[in-house]
Amino acid sequence: MYTAVEPVADELKKFEQLVKNKRDQWHKVTFDFRAITIEEYLEMNERKQFGMISATHSAYYFKDLEETIMNLYECLVKGGILFTRMDDGGLEKFISKVGEYYTDQLCNFIGTHAIEDIINRRIPNVRYGSIKRELWFNVTECFGEESEIGSYIINVFTKIYNFREKAKPKIKKQILDYMRDECCKKEDSRILFNTDERDLFIFRD
């Protein structure tokens, strides 16, 4: 049984269609598609136990990050794995910096270390492994005040729509200076932003 939980119905439909297109590769796997939040799913009485749970770039949107992570862990059978993929490196540092200035009820400004902190505090002798991918993204346009492309890129990384227009000048400067000085490297005429990802494999022994 593969249970897919995704509150954005259109995205869930895309996955459902992909499954149908690749059905010959799934070999008798039964799918259960749920267009609800993970919190809504966890509150349901029919909650099941799983051998593996995958939360890929989704913990940013958990309403109660710590409790949801712990509830997912409790849904694992003995020997099961909770897999998370989150921002790491420069991008994690950057979104944490943005979170010092902005709050959003729908979004947590976090990265991999937030998950590590939770499991190390809440699960004695937890066993987990990790794989990190080094990624770099050209953000040179972000530092050209008139660049429309740069504005779009900044919106994506800050998770704030129209950041350049909405942010107070002092805050905007502090955040962009931090991005350039602490999270980027220069390569010839380009400014490259460190957008690493890290996977955690958390085992329930």
pLDDT per position as a tens digit, 52-70: 999 999 999 999 999 999 9
Q: Give CA–CA dist 133/114, Å, rounded.
A: 18
Find tokens 């939040």 and name the residue: 37
Structure tokens at 8: 């954005």
Q: Give percent above pLDDT 70 in the chain.
A: 99
Domain at 37-203: CATH architecture: 3-Layer(aba) Sandwich (3.40)
Structure tokens at 164: 């350049």
Banded model confidence at residue 1, pLDDT cuts 50, 70, 90: confident
Q: Give CA–CA dist 49/178, Å, rounded.
A: 43
> Rounded to a whole number, what is the distance in angstroms from the first to the last CA of the chain?
22
Banded model confidence at residue 47, pLDDT cuts 50, 70, 90: low
Q: Give CA–CA dist 190/205, Å, rounded.
A: 47
SS3 (DSSP) at 47: coil
